[in-house]
Chains A and B, each alone.
Chain A
Amino acid sequence: MSTSSVDIARPATRARPRLPALPRPRLGLRAVSPPALLILWQVASSTGLLSDRLLPAPATVARTAATLTADGTLGDAVAVSLQRALIGFALGAAAGLALALAAGLSRAGEGLLDPPLQMLRALPLFGLIPLFILWFGIGETPKVILVAFGVLFPIYLNTYAGIRGVDAKLAEVGRVLQLGRIALIRHIVLPGALPQALVGLRQSLGVAWLALIVAEQINASKGLGFMINDAREFLRVDIVVLGLLVYAVLGLATDALVRLAERRALSWRRGLLGT
């Protein structure tokens, strides 16, 4: 993923019904290469081909994971980081959603809100860090705000685009069926905007983890980022690698959650995809 906030925050192509994907390789085949790579890595480390100071063996990383889990270091660090990500995400998503509804559902809202938001969107997310440190100090607040700020734009842009992209022909159906404004929003506009809003949700989760990782590199005294930075000081490459793996797992887990939500909320589209 690109680290420029401008790229990340651009609404993706509208979630239209896609052509059926190419048939996937058999599950058996897909399950072969990851363990093979892992074994190759272990063998390279054990034979001394791969220096332990550059990249420790998988077994070493696993042992470190067990140790740090047992003494609670890893659990505490994950809890702190997860909390930052969740609070920041919740704040940013709530703000982005509220702004998108206001701008998407009323002309006045669009006129007032969209221009300043488009301007703010152009600011480089990570360039704001010095400003946030000056404003909010070096505690939890600047980290949470950075995550929230990064999350806000993908949610806003995609939900807003989703609302505005609702098929005008369906809006006409609503009028012909004498739906009132509230009913039109509830039955036609919001469900119509949902696919695009979910695209925004997935993008924003990616941004949330990225913003968190960057924020935690700076002035953190706890959390995964601190654990990694601290390990760097002591040349504990195994802990650095472990931290990165944990970040990856957390990112994958949240993405899987959204995919699950997507599959449930958009089951009406499955007919077209042949499932």
Chain B
Amino acid sequence: MATRTARDVTSTTAAQVKGLTKRFGSRVVLDGLDLDIARGEFVALLGRSGSGKSTLLRVLAGLDRDTSGDLRVDGTVAVAFQEPRLVPWKRVLGNVTLGLRVPAPVAAADTALAEVGLTERRDVWPLTLSGGEAQRVSLARALVRDPDLLLLDEPFSALDALTRINVHRLVLDLWERHRPGVLLVTHDVDEALLLADRVLVLDDGRIAHQSEVALPRPRERDHPELVELRSVLLTRLGVALEGSK
């Protein structure tokens, strides 16, 4: 796998956020947040539950419009949610082509399904898929739109450990091939360190910390640099160090 980090290959931004503020009633969830995601950059966003990381993703996805501050998202945005959210009454292929406006949607969808290794499942109902398969369809549905910004909202958290490793590889592979800007929301520090160019910690509605991860991929979990970064991030997240592996 290539060893590039995003900074070398990108010049344009996929998303730019300045002073973003989001309130739910009197509670301030995002408080003047700044964030740039470059095209082709893989960014992971960590935060305790309730820290507003999913809210940020929803704002970027255009699902939460009631905000203040500047928000610029260039090009196409695609989202893979925590649950795959496949439309149960459309077969796998129909889910991938849903809302797809390209000259040959079926051919494009077939290519995307081949990329996630599900060609033979194209005509089945989503309810017959396993969790990993459904999540891969969800990724195919996102990638077939050739997004400039891919938003991943904890899409691996419901997968079993082995499936998760495979889907991690798949996501990196697809990212290498399509080079969208990626924002991965996760609560798994190891996942962030294995995948991302840059790991952010969201706290009190702002980016409280960021770590660059300049290691080539695929990465070893127990690489000394990652071990060190992990303890830094865990401390930032307020987790006692004996809690780390």
Contacts and interface: CB of A to CB of B under 8 A. Distances in A.
B99 A178 contact: yes
A172 interface: yes
Interface string A165-180: 0000110111111110
Given A170-B85, A271-B125, A177 B98 contact: yes
B90 A187 contact: yes
Interface string B108-150: 0000000000000000111110000000000001000100000
Interface centre among A172, A177, A188, by most chain B C-beta atoms within 10 angstroms, is: A177
A17 B128 CA distance: 13
Contacts of A194: 89
Contacts of B145: 177
B83 A176 contact: no
Nearest to B77: A176
Interface residues of B, number: 25
B74 to A, nearest CB: 16
Interface residues on A, range: 20 to 34
B2 interface: no
A176 B79 contact: yes
Contact of B99 (A17, A174, A271, A272): A174
Contacts of B141: 177
B69 interface: no
Contacts of A170: 85, 87
B127 A188 contact: no
Interface in A176-209: 176-179, 183, 187-188, 191-192, 194
A176 B89 CA distance: 18
Interface centre among B78, B85, B88, by most chain A C-beta atoms within 10 angstroms, is: B88
B83 A173 contact: no
Interface in A38-79: none
A178 B78 CA distance: 10
Contact of B81 (A17, A169, A270): A169
Nearest to B129: A271
Contact of A172 (B63, B124, B125): B63
B83 A169 contact: yes
A175 B90 contact: no
B152 to A, nearest CB: 13
Q: Helix, strand, loop or mixed for chain A's interface? A: helix
B216 interface: no
Contacts of B85: 169-170, 172-173
A172 B99 CA distance: 13
B234 interface: no
B62 interface: yes
A179 to B, nearest CB: 5
B59 interface: no
Nearest to B61: A176
A21 B111 CA distance: 40
Contacts of A179: 98-99
Interface in A226-271: 267-271
Contact of B88 (A175, A178, A269): A269
Nearest to B101: A178
Contact of A176 (B78, B88, B90, B125): B78
Contacts of A175: 62-63
Contacts of A192: 89
A158 to B, nearest CB: 17
A272 B127 contact: yes
Contacts of A188: 87
A173 B87 contact: yes
Contacts of B100: 177
Nearest to B138: A173
Contacts of B81: 169, 173
Interface centre among A172, A174, A191, A192, by most chain B C-beta atoms within 10 angstroms, is: A172
Interface in A151-167: none
A176 B62 contact: yes
A191 B94 CA distance: 13
A183 B125 contact: no
Nearest to B76: A178
A271 B63 contact: no
Contacts of B78: 176
B96 to A, nearest CB: 10
23 contacts: A169-B81, A169-B85, A170-B87, A173-B87, A174-B99, A175-B63, A176-B77, A177-B98, A177-B99, A177-B100, A177-B141, A179-B98, A179-B99, A187-B87, A187-B90, A187-B99, A191-B89, A268-B88, A268-B127, A269-B88, A271-B124, A271-B128, A272-B127
The 4 closest A-B pairs by CB, nearest first: A177-B99, A271-B128, A271-B127, A191-B89
